[in-house]
DNA sequence: TGACAGGGGGTGT
DNA sequence: ACACCCCCTGTC
């Protein structure tokens, strides 16, 4: 089992800002990614692509990491920094968000220091958000774990990567349903068939300007505006993508007075009000609203 | 402890 | 508007 794995020593990830445990939890388990789980007290274990890694914050607030000493399952500091978007451009984006003129946004940012948008693989992000319709995070994680265990490749004992779209194309809808997908199984099955007949389609889509990329993603069965924006934000670093889900509808109504606005109107407001980094702002608002709901 | 409603981070018709 | 599919959660 996993206990037998040999891990590297813990080392500090240089360049990552100090962050509280709650920021780390929100970053890894707040709805951007679905493959992070507590491994021990304060330790998060996660998988993306063929990388396995553990993260924790020390008492000094600095981020520490370790990875299995197995060829093909580990991660380098460079890869980890990319995933966590450790980049001067990130600091710049934080700087130009309108928190100076938006006290609520300022409050949300102060509450989750270190929170950011992960840079996840495009294909895996699409798969995860095709699983997400009317599901809560716990359920999405359960589905995604089953997909990895049953259909993915084993990277190390007990650690499985997600199946890629080529592999998914040869999986029957019934097998997908067995992974608790329900009506989402058809979406994934049909998307896999479509992508199998269009080599390069995903990579081309990822390279397009935001509006065109979104329009193309919306052609896929099971992908509407919300899912497309999530895929572009969390899987392609498009900070202008502003996913409007029930939480954002709630928060924009309560904190910005947009009572009974429709999703498309809220999306427009978000792009205008928050600007080029609307998606990044959205993540802070989202974290705040979720925490507020939890406290009740 | 165990059964039972109710509703869910959306899309497609 | 409503179905889709079925698991999680709260409650008795």
Do A232 and A127 lie in a common domain? yes
Per-residue pLDDT for A223 more than 80?
yes
How many domains does the structure of chain A reveal? 3
Q: Give the domain CATH number at A198.
A: 1.10.340.30
Tell me the pLDDT tens digit for each residue of A279-291: 999 999 999 998 8
Do A103 and A243 lie in a common domain? yes
The pLDDT of residue A2 is 47
Strand B within 7 Å of which CB atoms in A 221-280? 221-228, 243, 245-247
Do A172 and A128 lie in a common domain? yes
Query: Which of A41, A68, A86 is a domain's end point?
Result: A86
Tell me the pLDDT tens digit for each residue of A129-168: 999 999 999 999 999 999 999 999 999 999 999 999 999 9
Per-residue pLDDT for A95 more than 50?
yes
A282: containing domain: 87-115+237-296
CA distance A219 to A226: 13
Q: Give the domain CATH number at A51.
A: 3.30.310
Do A72 and A108 lie in a common domain? no
Q: In Å, what is the separation between the CA of A152 and the C1' of B4?
A: 36
**What is the mean pLDDT of the segment spanning A231-235?**
97
What's this model's pTM, rounded to 2 decimal places? Answer: 0.97
Do A57 and A97 lie in a common domain? no
Per-residue pLDDT for A296 more than 60?
no
Do A24 and A157 lie in a common domain? no
The pLDDT of residue A128 is 97
Instruction: Pick out residues whose CB falls under 7 Å from strand C.
Output: A 134, 136, 138-139, 142, 177, 180, 182-183
CA distance A244 to A136: 15
Residue nearest to nucleotide C6 (CA to C1'): A182
Do A232 and A242 lie in a common domain? no
Do A96 and A171 lie in a common domain? no
CA distance A145 to A134: 18
The pLDDT of residue A294 is 73
CA of A32: nearest nucleotide by C1' is B9
pLDDT band at A3 (very low <50, low <70, confident <90, very high): low
Do A53 and A146 lie in a common domain? no
Q: In Å, what is the separation between the CA of A139 and the C1' of C10?
A: 16
Q: In Å, what is the separation between the CA of A289 and the C1' of C1?
A: 28
Do A109 and A245 lie in a common domain? yes
**What is the mean pLDDT of the segment spanning A16-28?**
94
Do A44 and A62 lie in a common domain? yes
The pLDDT of residue A73 is 97
Do A219 and A286 lie in a common domain? no
Task: Determine whether the distance from the CB of A150 to the nearest atom of strand B is below 7 Å.
Answer: no
Query: Which of A38, A65, A86 is a domain's end point?
Result: A86
CA distance A287 to A267: 18
Residue nearest to nucleotide B10 (CA to C1'): A133
**What is the mean pLDDT of the segment spanning A215-232?**
96
**What is the mean pLDDT of the segment spanning A46-65?**
96
Average pLDDT of every residue of chain A: 94
Q: Which residue has the higher pLDDT, A259 or A97?
A: A97
The pLDDT of residue A295 is 65
């Amino acid at each position: 089992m996993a206990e037998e794995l040999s891990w590297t020593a813990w080392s500090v990830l240089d360049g990552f800002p100090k962050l509280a445990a709650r920021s780390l939890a929100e970053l890894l388990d707040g709805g951007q990614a679905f493959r992070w789980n507590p491994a021990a007290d304060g330790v998060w274990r996660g998988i993306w692509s063929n990388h396995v890694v553990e993260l924790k914050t020390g008492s000094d607030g600095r981020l520490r990491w370790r990875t299995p000493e197995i060829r093909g399952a580990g991660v380098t500091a460079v890869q980890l920094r990319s995933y966590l978007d450790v980049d001067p451009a990130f600091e710049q984006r934080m700087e130009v968000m309108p928190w100076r003129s938006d006290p609520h946004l300022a409050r949300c940012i102060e509450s989750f220091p270190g929170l950011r948008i992960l840079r996840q693989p495009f294909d895996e992000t699409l798969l995860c958000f095709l699983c997400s319709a009317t599901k809560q995070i716990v359920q999405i994680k359960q589905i995604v774990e089953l997909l990895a265990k049953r259909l993915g490749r084993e990277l190390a004992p007990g650690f499985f990567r997600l199946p890629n779209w080529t592999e998914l194309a040869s999986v029957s809808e019934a097998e997908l349903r067995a992974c608790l997908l329900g009506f989402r199984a058809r979406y994934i099955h049909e998307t896999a068939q479509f992508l199998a007949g269009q080599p390069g389609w995903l990579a081309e889509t990822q390279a397009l300007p935001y509006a065109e990329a979104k329009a193309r993603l919306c052609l896929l069965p099971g992908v509407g505006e919300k899912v497309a924006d999530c895929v572009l934000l969390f899987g392609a670093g498009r900070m202008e993508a502003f996913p409007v889900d029930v939480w954002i509808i709630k928060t924009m109504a309560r904190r910005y007075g947009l009572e009974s606005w429709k999703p498309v109107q809220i999306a427009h407001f978000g792009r205008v009000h928050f600007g080029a980094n609307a998606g990044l702002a959205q993540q802070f608002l989202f974290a705040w609203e979720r925490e507020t709901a939890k406290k009740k």
